Structure 1
């Protein structure tokens, strides 16, 4: 891999709206440019309901299972 490039469009709030990554990959005598682009075309406000497996804020988490843990915050309105 050579000539690695990454470009991002970052808003004043830190939100990355566009990410472009590219690099050259050589196999034998052949070199190809590989590129990936991720872009948010639009962002709207989304309201989600608390899934039954997520306890309300303030309740204990219970025993840990597995090697990892993710935290999800829901609006309690």
Structure 2
């Protein structure tokens, strides 16, 4: 990536956290799940769709977040 694109991409990741935080309420949590770290192009079947190998990747990311919520 170019330096400009890297800066923009990093800002987008921060914006997701900000949006989730600003729109959460006491009765409706917005919990961002980090789907970026560890994601590589080899997990894509084409330019848009991911392949079967990513099913465990996605499940483990959501499980990490949900296990803390579901125990409460």
TM bucket normalised to smaller: under 0.3
TM-score normalised by the chain length of structure 2: 0.26
Instruction: Give 1 or 2 for the bigger CA radius of gyration.
Output: 1
Task: Specify which structure has the higher proportion of strand.
Answer: 1
Q: Higher helix proportion, which one?
A: 2
Provide the TM-score with structure 1 as the length reference.
0.25
